[in-house]
Chains A and B, each alone.
Chain A
Amino acid sequence: MITATHPVETKKNYLNAEEGLKSWLLTSDHKRIAILYLISVTFFFALGGMYAALIRLELATPAGDLVESNVYNKFFTMHGVIMVFFFLIPSIPAVLGNFFLPMMIGAKDLAFPKINLLSWYIYMVGGVFTLYVLLSGGVDTGWTFYTPFSTSYSNGYVIAAGLGIFINGFSAILTGLNFIVTVHRMRAPGMTWFRMPLFVWAHYATSMIQILGTPVIAVTLFLLVLERGLHIGFFDPAYGGDPVLYQHLFWFYSHPAVYIMILPSMGVVTEIITTFCSKKPFGYTFIAFSSVAIAVFGFLVWGHHLFVSSQSIYAGLVFSVLSYIVAIPSAIKVFNWTATMYKGSVRLETPMLYAIGFIGLFTVGGLTGLFLASLGMNVHLTDTYFVIAHFHYVMVGGAIMGFMGGIHYWWPKMFGRMYSQVWSKVAAIIIFTGFNLTFFPQFILGYMGMPRRYHAYPAEWQVLNVLSSAGASILGLGYLIAIIYLLYSLKFGAIAPPNPWGATTLEWMTDSPPIAENFEVTPVITQEVYTYSAEEVLHVV
Chain B
Amino acid sequence: MQAKPFELFPDAASSIAGSVDGLYAYMVLVSAFFSLLIAVLIIYFAVKYRRKDDHVPLPVDEHSIGGMILEIVWSVIPLGLSLVMFAWGASIFFTESKPPADAMEVFVTGKQWMWKIQHNEGAREINELHIPINRDIKLTMTSEDVIHDFYVPAFRTKADVLPGKYTTEWFRPTKVGEYHIFCAEYCGTKHSGMIGTVYVMTEPDYNKWLAAGSGEGSMAEQGQALFNQLGCGNCHASAFNKNLGRCPNLNGLFGTTVDLKDGTKTRMDETYIRESVLYPQSKIVAGYDDIMPTFKGLVTEDGLLKLVEYVKSMGTKNGAQMSAPPLATETSATDAKTGTPAKAGAAKTSAAPAVNVNRPGNQ
Contact = CB atoms under 8 A, between A and B. Distances in A.
B147 A243 contact: yes
Interface stretch (B75-83, B326-334, B348-356): B75-83
Nearest to B179: A449
Given A453-B192, A456-B193, A282 B42 contact: no
B34 A363 contact: yes
Contact of A339 (B20, B31, B70, B92): B70
Nearest to A455: B192
Interface stretch (B57-65, B127-135, B317-325): B57-65
B147 A149 contact: yes
Given A346-B45, A377-B27, A457-B192, A321 B89 contact: no
A444 B8 contact: yes
B149 A149 contact: no
B56 interface: yes
Given A338-B45, A348-B50, A377-B24, A448 B59 contact: no
A437 to B, nearest CB: 16
Interface residues of B, number: 86
A380 B158 contact: yes
A448 B10 contact: yes
B192 A456 contact: yes
Q: Which of the listed residues B10, B56, B154 has the most CB atoms from chain A within 10 Å of its own CB?
A: B56
A49 to B, nearest CB: 22
A320 B86 contact: yes
Contacts of A456: 192-193
Nearest to B95: A376
A156 to B, nearest CB: 10
A382 B160 CA distance: 11
Interface in B30-51: 30-31, 34-35, 38-39, 41-42, 45-46, 49-51
B62 A313 contact: no
A375 B45 contact: no
A8 interface: no
B306 interface: no
B189 A140 contact: yes
Given A377-B89, A444-B8, A460-B3, A343 B57 contact: yes
Interface stretch (A130-138, A194-202, A325-333): A325-333
Q: Which of A348, A368, A370 lies at the interface centre, i.e. has the most chain B CB atoms within 10 A of its CB? A: A370
B104 interface: no
Contacts of B74: 331-332, 335
B347 interface: no
Interface in A68-94: 69-70, 73
Nearest to A364: B35
A334 interface: yes
Contact of B185 (A383, A458, A463): A383
Given A308-B158, A368-B31, A376-B20, A280 B42 contact: no
Nearest to B62: A282
A15 interface: no
Contact of A533 (B20, B58, B67, B145): B58
Given A73-B189, A148-B163, A449-B153, A376 B49 contact: no
Contacts of A453: 186, 191-192
Contact of A308 (B82, B88, B160, B163): B160
B345 interface: no
A476 B60 CA distance: 40
Contacts of A280: 59, 62
A383 B149 contact: yes
B175 to A, nearest CB: 15
A222 B318 CA distance: 49
Given A347-B50, A448-B10, A370 B186 contact: no
B35 A376 contact: no
Contacts of A310: 159-160, 162, 165, 167
Contacts of B71: 283, 286, 332, 336
A282 B63 CA distance: 9
A237 interface: yes
B19 interface: yes
B27 A374 contact: yes
A237 B50 contact: no
A449 B180 contact: yes
Contacts of A334: 38
Nearest to B79: A328
B328 to A, nearest CB: 32
Contacts of B251: none
A153 B51 contact: no
Contacts of A320: 86, 89-90
B254 interface: no
30 contacts: A73-B189, A149-B186, A153-B145, A279-B59, A280-B62, A309-B162, A324-B83, A327-B78, A332-B75, A343-B57, A345-B49, A345-B56, A348-B46, A359-B38, A364-B31, A364-B35, A370-B31, A370-B82, A371-B31, A375-B93, A376-B20, A376-B23, A379-B157, A384-B153, A384-B184, A449-B182, A458-B1, A532-B56, A533-B56, A533-B58
- What 3 pairs across the A-B complex have the smallest Cβ distances? A449-B153, A376-B92, A237-B164
Interface of B: 1, 3-10, 19-20, 23-24, 27, 30-31, 34-35, 38-39, 41-42, 45-46, 49-51, 55-60, 62, 67, 70-71, 74-75, 78-79, 82-83, 85-86, 88-97, 112, 145-147, 149, 151, 153-154, 156-160, 162-165, 167, 180, 182-193
Interface of A: 64, 69-70, 73, 140-142, 144, 146, 148-149, 152-154, 236-238, 242-244, 277-280, 282-283, 286, 307-310, 313, 316-317, 320-321, 324-325, 327-328, 331-332, 334-336, 338-339, 341-348, 356, 359-360, 363-364, 367-368, 370-371, 373-380, 382-384, 444, 447-449, 451-461, 463, 532-534
